[in-house]
Amino acid sequence: MQVANNTVVSFHYKLEEVGGDYKEDSSDGDPMLYLHGHRGVLPGLEDAMKGKVAGDKFTVQVSPENAYGQRNEDGIQRVPIKHLIGRKKPNVGELVTVNAKSGKVNATVVKVGRHTVDVDTNHPLAGKELKFDIEVVDVREATMEEVSHRHAHGPGGHQH
């Protein structure tokens, strides 16, 4: 079966930032699952998956616009430490959750002061060109439940 809308794709990936140090590899764990056509993975990766079949291996380079977007310099903000969820005094580089007017926001700490922290709400890979080495493990038709929920369910069914 080919990857198309409303198919569930399981795959392994190796990810690296082009020209950078970031690397990630899923091959030591279970394959990733997503419901094709519902933007459950990065747009550039989903576009590259279309038409593939189980056993296909390929490499795709994804631009920032088709991955995590460009960096937004307005994403760096100073917030009172009391607005951090679960931590009082974080360290630089630490991922934190900030209680904001719009809800909970994930951020990276870039500077720590006595009563405030500067946080970056951009995704850590925003503005980065990414390279994926993909191995398609399986492609199957999605269940009606998966389509209605707009995401794939893992082994054993519903897992949320």
Whether 157 has a pLDDT exceeding 70, the answer reads: no
Within a 13 Å sphere around the CA of 53, how many CA atoms are in the beta-carbon half?
A: 2
pLDDT at 86: 84
Q: Does the predicted model carry a pTM greater than 0.75?
A: yes
- Residue 98 tokens read as 């900030």
pLDDT at 18: 96
Quote the CA–CA distance of 14 and 131 in Å, as a whole number: 8
86 or 123, higher pLDDT: 123
Average pLDDT score over residue span 75-82? 92
Cα torsion at 142, 65, 84, 40 (round to 10°)? 0
pLDDT at 158: 54
**CATH number for the domain running over 7-68+125-149:** 3.10.50.40
73-120 carries CATH number 3.20.20.60: no
pLDDT at 159: 52
Quote the CA–CA distance of 133 and 30 in Å, as a whole number: 16
Distances (CA, A) of 51 to 42, 48, 85, 139, 142: 17, 8, 43, 10, 16
Distances (CA, A) of 6 to 39, 93, 143, 150: 11, 38, 8, 9
Question: What are the structural domain ranges in the chain?
Answer: 7-68+125-149, 73-120
Return the number of other C-beta atoms located less than 10 Å from residue 58's C-beta: 12
Give residue-wise pLDDT tens across range 97-144.
998 888 899 999 999 999 999 999 999 999 999 999 999 999 999 999
